[in-house]
Amino acid sequence: MGSQGGFGQSKEFLDLIKSIGEARSKAEEDRIVLHEIETLKRRITEPDIPKRKMKEYIIRLVYVEMLGHDASFGYIHAVKMTHDDNIHLKRTGYLAVTLFLNEDHDLIILIVNTIQKDLKSDNYLVVCAALNVVCKLINEETIPAVLPQVVELLGHQKEAVRKKAVMALHRFYQRAPSSVNHLISNFRKKLCDNDPGVMGATLCPLYDLITIDVNAYKDLVASFASILKQVAERRLPKSYDYHQMPAPFIQIKLLKILALLGSGDKKASEQMYTIIGDIMRKCDSTSNIGNAVLYECICCISSIHPNPKLLESAADAIAKFLKSDSHNLKYLGIDALGRLIKLSPEIAEQHQLAVIDCLEDPDDTLKRKTFELLYKMTKSSNVEVIVDRMIDYMININDSHYKTEIASRCVELAEQFAPSNQWFIQTMNRVFEHAGDLVNPKVAHNLMRLIAEGFGEEDDTADSQLRSSAVESYLRIVVEPKLPSTFLQVICWVLGEYGTADGKYSASYITGKLCDVAEAYSTDDTVKAYAISALMKIYSFEIAAGRKVDVLPECQSFIEELLASHSTDLQQRAYELQAILGLDANVATNIMPMDASCEDIEIDRSLSFLNSYVQQSIEKGAQPYIPEGERSGMTDVSSFRSQELHEVSSHALRFEAYELPKPVMPSRVSPIEQSSSNELVPAPEPSYHAEMHQVASSVPSVSDTGSLELKLKLDGVQRKWGRPTYSSAAPSTSNADIPKIQNGAPQLDAVSSSSSKAVSYDSRRQQVEISAEKQKLAASLFGGTSKSHKRQSSGSQKVPKTNIPAAEKSHVAKNATSDTAVLERTPQPPPDLLDLDESTVSSSAQSLDPFKQLEGLLDLNQDTSTLTTSDASASGAPDVMSLYGETTLNVQSGGVPNLLPAGRDEANLLSGLAGTPNRDGHGENTVTNPTQQLNKGPNAKESLEKDALVRQLGVTPTGQNPNLFRDLLG
């Protein structure tokens, strides 16, 4: 279709594309493009270039920029092309300027006029093209130039124009909210547009608006719910269907909006429960898009006011995701789990092994997502295991962006849940050692303060123990190469403050270490400053203790180096140190008291100790000091300057926006009433206004439930994971027990816990395969510890007896609930095709996985080897196009039998065609195949024609890059 008529392009263009397509390396591509730039520079300035030719040049310029080179020499020609009358040329010109320019480019001013003209055009395609550009290139300053026309176009008779006008207004709102504040009510109106496309587009700005101010849109809850219902009931045109789902992208957007509106609002949430439940039931969990909608439902359910029934079905869906073989679904499952545990913490436990599998998966994306989940479910009983894992992972990654994030999470968790200061310091040391340059310097100060302040209790021996262990660990670490600067600062400070405190290490040993640090990191002035201050402390402590100070030769040379330093700060510190060395014990104690870093230093702000000196001077005839505020007169420098400033500001450009025209009273849309008309949403009548204001005023009363939601979140973090029965049996687990259990528990323990847990997790024989190590990890992560704790106290023999029945009970209970769920489902009056699907699928959920099939299909390259054997029943996905690539003869002989499996693949990928779902090994393929083949038939012919055409043009698929010809959809 699109490729008919010999592409309508010149030989030169085809050659360019061909050579770019066949380029083997980036360097070769760069050579081609540089050559192309030279050609274009020459050609594009020639006089009287035919328009078609010019269009081609513009597209070649687009190529130049796309491949990473500057094409600014040709921008002006793209701008000129936007003036053209031919719509195709105009649109190409507009496209090029949106790709080349940003909204602050100087050339924009040349386009604004054209845009204004085009917005008034009779040809709606021209208007649409102009609106596309408006969305990309109109900045805050130029908004007023096009705003009136855009607003007018909201009422255009063509739905495509209305849709784009809505998006243009959305763009203005994103750029400069104040410029369109008075027009926001238009979005509400457009939600009721007759055209589903306009309605769907309007959801985008509304989503943004609701994100910013939820309460202003509470009145629309019923409307959104009703639209969602209609979409789910297939009231939109068939063309919006995607893989048998009715307008899934609109459904997802609506669910996102409902999630915002229902968050912490019971009343609003109650209006959504039914429709969300319906959608979850209808979702086809064998297709990607069905799962995408399902996932969005879970997100919505976990955001709105909780509903037990919906939570249960969300948990079921999560279980399906996590048990799937597809990594994409596992990823979503982990993410959804992280959302849901805030509301029902107990669901994490049944998935603990799945979570651990994801954590240990080589797939980095999955791993990170799982860390995010762990981060959300950290509490004081599992913080050690989680942070330990996080740090291990952090050490092994190079991506500094993510390293920063995970390091700050480690710090946050450690600060929040640290079971002991000892552990905290060790953990911080590890974080600093491996990511010291990436963490906030504040963290270093917190660490120093913690070491200085200790437990904050009256327990001095514990404090000094803590410090001694810190000193010892730092002396060990300090010899390692390439430590981060922040960490070295902490080390120097601690060594200076406490290095000699317990008398274990001599002053000369510590000072020697400090000098080593300063020498090794001689380019880092901050570290050197910390080091010399530490030296100063140690020497003055020595002097105060009455010991003779002998300055090591390397310390002496270090001090001398700093005395001559370019940094005045370092110089001053060095001079101060020198001065202290000459003082007696008494003075030294006063200047540098031992362990006084936490004492408050009192500052006499009024400088009262100078009073007598001031008095003397005044008596001698000096001018008294007048505070700045009381001084007057033009001679005063500061007041003169401030006046000058004032003058300047009155002459300068005004940067504040001008006052807005009086905002129009926003008209509110009435809550939707079910009407029999064909419209999606009945348009509001102007007469409703008064009534609507009342509705609006009643809305804010809901807001106090918001704080409740906030509380809920915190609760979720703190709460114990285990089932209520367990946690009540062993309510308190002391933190110190965890490591003991991990190390000391006999293997038998782990196995027995595995069997008991596996029963509740999955009734099949999985437990045999689960390693004891994983079990341990699971136990320490998911509060399994509370059980093992109980076990220890009651003796290990009795454990299986006490535990298994409980697990069985829970299993039975689960069965019962799922049975009722099935019962609820079956008596649905209209037997929906999709509903039936779901029930059959759940019975054989393990055996089929649509994603596996999809992924297999995408892997065309590996299958090329099987192509030569033209065996139709080959299990792979034979590639029709690459067959054409071999030789044309081959196509005629081998092509026909190969079409059959190709047709099946098509059915999987483009399954929007047949009502029956495609499953391998279910015998349904044979039924669907003939129709699929028919569908694919003409396409194959087309591609043959295209192939022949391309050959004529001199681009041969047997050339350097056969991939260029490969059919993307297999």
Site for other proteins, residues 93 to 152, rule: CB under 8 A: 95, 99, 102-103, 125, 128, 132, 135
By the rule CB under 8 A, 381 interacts with other proteins:
no
Please pick, from the candidates 37, 44, 61, 62, the single residue that binds other proteins as defined by CB under 8 A. Answer: 62
Name the minimum Å distance from CB 894 to other proteins.
17
CA angle, corner 310, sides to 308 and 316, nearest 5? 105
Q: Which of residues 254-273 bind other proteins (CB under 8 A)?
A: 256
Phi, psi of 126 (to 5 degrees): -65, -45
β-pair partners for 263? 304
Please pick, from the candidates 66, 610, 664, 816, the single residue that binds other proteins as defined by CB under 8 A. Answer: 66
Calpha distance 695→221 (Å, rounded): 12
By the rule CB under 8 A, 739 interacts with other proteins:
no
Please pick, from the candidates 53, 80, 151, 249, the single residue that binds other proteins as defined by CB under 8 A. Answer: 249
Calpha distance 740→763 (Å, rounded): 30
| 3-state SS string for 754-788 | HHHHHHHHCCCHHHHCCCHHHHHHHHHHCCCHHHH
- Burial label for 24, CB within 10 Å (0-12, 13-18, 19+), is exposed
Structure tokens belonging to residue 488 = 């070295």
Name the minimum Å distance from CB 419 to other proteins.
31
By the rule CB under 8 A, 200 interacts with other proteins:
yes
* Minimum CB distance to other proteins smaller for 332 or for 867: 332
* Minimum CB distance to other proteins smaller for 810 or for 864: 864
From 286-294, 553-561, 773-781, 831-839, span contacting other proteins (CB under 8 A):
286-294
Residues that bind other proteins (rule: CB under 8 A) add up to a total of 105
Task: Name the DSSP class of 669.
Answer: P
8 Å CB contact between 340 and 321: no
8 Å CB contact between 949 and 5: no
Calpha distance 375→717 (Å, rounded): 10
Q: By rule CB under 8 A, what string of x and - marks binding of each residue 361-380 to other proteins?
A: -xxxxx-x------------
Please pick, from the candidates 61, 78, 108, 201, the single residue that binds other proteins as defined by CB under 8 A. Answer: 201
Calpha distance 276→149 (Å, rounded): 39
**Spatial CA neighbour of 767 closest among 779, 782, 757:** 757
From 250-258, 460-468, 689-697, 751-759, span contacting other proteins (CB under 8 A):
250-258
By the rule CB under 8 A, 699 interacts with other proteins:
no
Please pick, from the candidates 44, 59, 111, 592, the single residue that binds other proteins as defined by CB under 8 A. Answer: 59
Name the minimum Å distance from CB 421 to other proteins.
34
By the rule CB under 8 A, 705 interacts with other proteins:
no
> What is the largest distance, in Å, between two alpha-carbon atoms of the chain?
118
Structure tokens belonging to residue 612 = 């007598």
Please pick, from the candidates 859, 872, 931, 934, the single residue that binds other proteins as defined by CB under 8 A. Answer: 859
Structure tokens belonging to residue 529 = 């400053």
By the rule CB under 8 A, 63 interacts with other proteins:
yes
* Minimum CB distance to other proteins smaller for 446 or for 956: 956
Please pick, from the candidates 653, 768, 823, 968, the single residue that binds other proteins as defined by CB under 8 A. Answer: 968
By the rule CB under 8 A, 170 interacts with other proteins:
yes
By the rule CB under 8 A, 297 interacts with other proteins:
no
**Spatial CA neighbour of 490 closest among 503, 504, 501, 477:** 477
DSSP 3-state assignment of 242? strand
* Minimum CB distance to other proteins smaller for 404 or for 508: 404
8 Å CB contact between 407 and 438: yes
By the rule CB under 8 A, 965 interacts with other proteins:
yes
From 67-75, 310-318, 659-667, 772-780, span contacting other proteins (CB under 8 A):
67-75
Q: Which of residues 940-959 bind other proteins (CB under 8 A)?
A: 940, 942-943, 946, 950, 955
Calpha distance 564→572 (Å, rounded): 10
Distances (CA, A) of 640 to 78, 631, 633: 53, 12, 9
8 Å CB contact between 283 and 291: yes
Per DSSP (E only), the strands in 261-336 are: none
Please pick, from the candidates 164, 342, 787, 789, the single residue that binds other proteins as defined by CB under 8 A. Answer: 164
By the rule CB under 8 A, 218 interacts with other proteins:
no
Structure tokens belonging to residue 127 = 């208007």
Q: Which of residues 21-50 bind other proteins (CB under 8 A)?
A: 21, 23-26, 29
By the rule CB under 8 A, 167 interacts with other proteins:
yes
Q: Which of residues 382-441 bind other proteins (CB under 8 A)?
A: 401-402
* Minimum CB distance to other proteins smaller for 361 or for 737: 361
